[in-house]
Amino acid sequence: MSDNPAGLVEDSSVYRTLLESTRAIPWKINWRTMQFEYIGPQIEALLGWPQDSWLTVDDWATRMHPEDRERVVNFCVSQSEAGVDHEADYRALTEGGEYVWLRDVVHVLRDDNGDVEALIGFMFDISERKKTEDELVALQKKLEEYSYKDGLTGVANRRMFDTVMNENWNHAIRHQSSLSVILLDIDNFKAYNDLNGHLQGDECLKRIATLLENAAQRPRDFVARFGGEEFVIVLPETDASAAISVAERCRQLLLEEQIPQGDSPNSKKVTISMGIGTVVPSRDDCIADFLDLVDQRLYKAKRDGRNRIVFD
């Protein structure tokens, strides 16, 4: 091995050539001056900013997406001050005004006294990776939506109802607030299907699901398909009189919808029966018992002639 200084220079040029031939962008920052001592020429091809325009850490920070800047800068500074190697993902501004996702992999250099002397690292273009990650997140979200949504009507399904009901029940216990539930059933729906066909029956379910959502107007009001031709409306922080008003609004919207029960426009119109329950639950109360009470009221409405509301 040669101890010729020229050999060291030659080695240094080889290392630089290797660094600058990779897609990763090498850089070095002097911690004391907060100035770039080096950044690879690949930065210009990626972001458009000239290599010699990267002078200080301010150039790095100001060329970062405003939504990422505070989080990333604070994280990198705190990790660097602690002497901890780290990574950070953020969106970098191109000279053309667009953004590219970068990952900075940072190594902290210390002097003989243990003080931070410099930061060296690599920038990686991770735009394609981020795009794939975002697509996977969107797909996962969509799959979760499907798992909690009724495939026919588009409202929540029974599984989602169970989750929301539990959450609202516990909230009502903590805050000692009223919780109301409306359980409703489409009258004579089997006969409707037999006469009009299942495709028309599906359309009827969709129309009723939509009008129920229109009747339950507050942000926390919740509509789900309970099963078959049954639907449920959960009304947090709602007393009995307010719940009855929502139920009456459901009947009025259905009346305006004028869905024929038979195959003639002049036939009787589709109607619904409803049972309503209101409770200020305690920890000794049981959701299943409460829902069973509401269910009994629904079937009382049906036994008493249908197209009616039972709330006590």
Strands of the 272-279 sheet, one edge to the other: 222-227, 230-236, 179-186, 272-279, 309-310
Helix or strand run (H / E) with residue 230 = strand 230-236
Which token pair is 92? Answer: 């970098």
CA 225 to chain centre: 22
Query: Distance between CA 11 and CA 294 in Å, rounded?
Result: 83
The b/e string for 259-276 (b: 16+ C-beta within 10 A; e otherwise) is bbbeeeeeeeebbbbbbb
Give exposure, 147-159, as e/b (b: 16+ Cβ within 10 Å). Answer: ebbbeebebbbee
Per annotation, catalytic residue among 128, 144, 145, 229: 229
Determine the 3-state secondary structure of 226 from DSSP: strand
Instruction: Quote the CA–CA distance of 307 and 293 in Å, as a whole number.
Output: 19
Angle at CA of residue 219, ends 144 and 156, nearest 5°: 35
Question: Residue 231: beta bridge partners?
Answer: 184, 225
167 is catalytic: no
To which H or E segment does residue 128 belong? helix 127-148
Element (H, E) at 27: strand 25-30
Active-site residues, by number, are 229
